[in-house]
Amino acid sequence: MPDRASPGGEREKLVYKRVLVKLSGEAFMDSEVGYGIDTDTVFSIAERLAEVHRMGVRLALVVGGGNIFRGDAASKNGIDRVTADFMGMLATVMNALALQDALEKQGVDTRVQTAINMQSIAEPYIRRRALRHQDKERVVLFAAGTGNPYFTTDTAASLRAMEINAQVILKGTKVDGVYSADPKKDPAAVKISKLSYIDVLKKGLQVMDATAISLCMDNNLPIIVFDLTTEGNIKKVIFGEEIGTIVQGE
């Protein structure tokens, strides 16, 4: 792929050239409101992603839906679990469309692919087509999770990352990495910069759910958890700067 922004060869210095960014639904909301899609927040995420895209990084995105609807929570309130999970998957499509719009306003060419067919809105997920879009320097947004109830968008992120040969999953959050305990509740909590998959599973650390972690472990796909809200961070990660927490094999 040609070096879009830096003919001088900045792309050569990138440690990660093929990445999948997982954004939780939370990333889309105004934290004071605690629900829904905040357009300013989505625009600032899009700016950061567009910058990385222009540097020549092959970028794919998986978006969550927890800012709008979570199947497990809704099922506890009486909605049938499978129906609730489908509603959750639909929520991810709303986020993907919002982010697509914001990216296109940054001049980035994009395609949304959904794991549940809804062709009037977006393309169905077809792996080879996704790869072709990337060859054409389009950012692909994968929506509707895996298309299956009882799964999460973290698992969708691991699956898609493997399918498109991403080198790493970048999990953008609002905290600067994984902590030994919840820093808001426990003042003794410390940030951990490196973790093995097994540690995450054994200690039940909040990186991604167990299915997603197992999939990454079986296929040796590293995960970097970092604070997406701080400007310049995503750039630092792809240049190999050790910020956040990396989860990988021992």
Q: Point out which span in 52-60, 81-89, 119-127, 219-227 binds ligand UDP (CB under 6 A).
A: 81-89
> Greatest CA separation found in the chain?
58
Measuring CA to CA, how many Å separate 159 from each of 4, 12, 221, 250? 28, 27, 10, 21
244 binds ligand UDP (CB under 6 A): no
Q: How far is the CB of 42 from ligand UDP (least distance, A)?
A: 14
Q: What is the DSSP letter of 138?
A: P
The residues in 86-125 that bind ligand UDP, with binding defined as CB under 6 A, are: 88-89, 91-92
Q: Which residue, 35 or 239, has its beta carbon nearer to ligand UDP?
A: 35
Place of tokens 């003042």: 187
143: its two tokens? 């929506």
Binding segment for ligand UDP among 8-16, 60-68, 100-108, 175-183 (CB under 6 A)? 60-68
Query: Where do the DSSP E strands lie in the chain?
Result: 18-23, 58-63, 110-114, 123-124, 139-143, 168-173, 178-179, 191-192, 194-196, 223-227, 245-248
Local structure of residue 116 (DSSP, 8 states): S
What type of residue sits at position 26?
E
| Binding track over 175-214 against ligand UDP, x by CB under 6 A | ----------------------------------------
Total number of residues that touch ligand UDP (CB under 6 A): 24
> What are the residues binding ligand UDP (CB under 6 A)?
24-26, 64-66, 70-72, 84-85, 88-89, 91-92, 145-146, 148-149, 151-154, 156
